[in-house]
Amino acid sequence: MKLLIILAIILLVIAAHQLLRVIELSRSLRKEVEWKPNDQDNNFMGKTMIVFLVLFFIFFFWQIAHWGARTLPPAASEHGVLIDQLWDANMLLITVVFLVTNTLLFYFAYKYRGKSTNKATYFPHSNKLEMIWTVVPAFALAFIIIFGLKYWNQITAPAEDKDKIVVELYAKQFDWTARYAGKDGKLGETDYRQISGTNAVGIDSTDANGHDDILVRNEFHIPVNTEIEFRMRSRDVIHSAYMPHFRAQMNCVPGMVTFFKFKAIKTTEEMRKDPFVVNLMSITNKIREKEGKEAVEFDYLLLCNKICGASHYNMQMNIIVDTPEAYRAWMIKQRIAAKTMAAK
C-alpha cells in the first residue's frame, strides 16, 4: 500500500512537470509576453481590489458583532471605568484610522491601476505631507500618553482613605497568598531568611506589627466602595498580579515591594446579575456542557500575567467582593481562625 502511494506521488510530480513544459511551449507560440499584464488584466485586478475592500470591511464589523459579547464584563472599580473610557477612545481612533487608510489604499490600487497609456509622474518630496503625517499622529499619541499617565498616577498613588484596607499579595511558583494587616492597620516587616513551613511569607518575628497579620489562601475578600491598598511581593521569579475585572495589573518582583490601589464598585453578587455577565456565563457554560464539564459561576479573579513556569496557567485566586457587613463577618472568622492556629 505504501509503495502504491509513493508511486502515485512520483507519477503526479512527473505529470505536473510535463504540464508545466506544455505551458512554457505554448507561451513561446504567442505574440504577447505571458508574464506581462495587459490593460484587461489590470482592470480586472483593480475591480477585485474594490470587491475585496467591501468584503474585508463586512468581515471586520461581523467580527466585532460576533465576538463583542465575549469580551471582559464592565469594569468593577472606580478607576477601571476611566481605563475603559480611555480604551474605547483608543479603539475608536484606531478604527477610524484603519477604515480611512484601507479605503485609500484599495481605492488608489483601483484608481492608479496599470494602463498602457499612463505615464508615471516624478514626485520626490512634499513638506506639507511630511508635516501632516508627523503632526497628526503626534497629537493623537500625546492625548493617549497624557491620559494614560494621569490614570496610572492615580492608581499608584498612596491610599488616602482613613478606612483603607491594606492587603499584601505574595506570589510564588505557583500560587498566591493574601496577607491582611491586623487591627493596627499595619503589615509586619518581612525577612526572606525567616521563610519556613510555618511562616510562608517570611513575616519578621521581631516586628510586633506582624503578630496580628492574617494569611489566607485560595480566595480573599474585600469590601465594596472601600479603598484597598495592595502591596505585591514575589519569592522566586517575576510574577504579575493581574485583576482583569478591576483593570489592575502590577509586576511582583523578587526583592522589592510594588503597589497599587483601587476601590471596587460592584459586589460579586451584583456582578453576577449584570446582563452582560449573565450572557457571558451562558455562552461559557454552553461550551463547558459540550465539553462534558460542570457549569460555573462568575468570580472575580487574581491571575498571574507573567509566564513564570510550567504551572503558570493554574496560578490564580478568587476575589470575593462583599458588602461591608459581610466583609466584617468574614474578617472576624479569619481572626478567630488565626488565633486558633497561633494557640496550636
Interval 214-241: pLDDT, tens: 899 889 999 999 999 999 999 999 999 9
Residues with Cβ within 8 Å of residue 47, at least 6 apart in sequence: 110
Which grid cell is 32? 504577447
Domain housing 311:
165-343
Q: Is residue 8 part of a domain?
A: no
Q: Is the dihedral of CA 44, 45, 49, 51 positive or negative?
A: positive
Higher pLDDT, 269 or 31: 269
Cite the beta strand spans of the chain per DSSP E: 165-172, 175-180, 214-216, 219-223, 227-234, 239-243, 248-252, 258-263, 300-304, 316-322
**Do 317 and 214 lie in a common domain?**
yes
**Do 309 and 205 lie in a common domain?**
yes
**Do 138 and 205 lie in a common domain?**
no
Q: Is residue 297 part of a domain?
A: yes
Q: What is the pTM of this model?
A: 0.76
**Do 43 and 87 lie in a common domain?**
yes
The pLDDT score that the predictor gives to residue 204 is 85
**Do 270 and 209 lie in a common domain?**
yes
Indicate if the pLDDT at residue 67 is higher than 70.
Answer: yes
Indicate if the pLDDT at residue 31 is higher than 80.
Answer: no
- Average pLDDT of the chain is 88
Tell me the per-residue pLDDT of 72-130, one tens digit each, with 9 for 90 and over.
888 999 999 999 998 998 899 999 999 999 999 999 999 988 887 878 788 888 888 89
Q: Is residue 268 part of a domain?
A: yes
Q: Is residue 7 part of a domain?
A: no
The pLDDT score that the predictor gives to residue 150 is 87
CATH of residue 232: 2.60.40.420
Indicate if the pLDDT at residue 187 is higher than 90.
Answer: no
Number of separate domains in the chain: 2
The pLDDT score that the predictor gives to residue 32 is 59
**Do 132 and 169 lie in a common domain?**
no
**Do 110 and 259 lie in a common domain?**
no
**Do 55 and 81 lie in a common domain?**
yes
The pLDDT score that the predictor gives to residue 29 is 66
**Do 238 and 302 lie in a common domain?**
yes
Q: Is residue 13 part of a domain?
A: no
Indicate if the pLDDT at residue 38 is higher than 90.
Answer: no
Residue 165 burial by CB count (10 A; 0-12/13-18/19+): exposed, middle or buried?
buried
